[in-house]
Amino acid sequence: MPRSNKSDGWLAARLAGVLLSCWACSRAAPDSNQPTVEQRREQVQQSVWTGSFHLLWGDPAPTRPGSPQVRYQLVTDRGEVLSLLVSDSALAELGGPRGLNGKRVTVTGDQEREGTVSVKSILLARQDP
């Protein structure tokens, strides 16, 4: 029995509506197995380094009076030298910068630019026997 153009049009419209609904649902509902944009950004930016913590003092030039500058660095196990941007409170929990000087630590943070890390956490590293 031949189909009418009216029923073909209705079927095509219905099929188009179903396909459009499926497409809209797939765009609106994120895949629960995929990380969110924030999680991906966190994974990309946050890293972990282990090495020795160093406290560096820099005196101002004699022609420019001022107070000494203090910097913190990590020399990683791979030989990288990283400048650390770390809060005084995070260092105080581990005995302060002088107490950490030369000790092995693990740093978690965001690499701000090449060679500089904004520290999120710092812990004494486990000593290998």
What is the rounded distance in angstroms from the CA atom of residue 59 to the CA atom of residue 48?
31
Using a cut of 0.75, tell me whether the model's pTM lies above it: no
CA distances from 74 to 6, 59, 83, 124, 127 (A): 76, 20, 7, 13, 16
Tally of CA atoms within 13 A in the half-sphere of 115 that contains its CB: 2
80-105: pLDDT as tens digits? 999 999 999 999 999 999 999 999 99
Most distant CA pair in the chain, distance = 103
Written as one string, the DSSP assignment of 75-100 is EETTS-EEEEE--HHHHHTTTHHHHH
28-75: pLDDT as tens digits? 555 555 555 555 554 445 799 999 999 998 887 788 778 778 899 999
- Predicted local confidence at residue 87, as pLDDT: 93
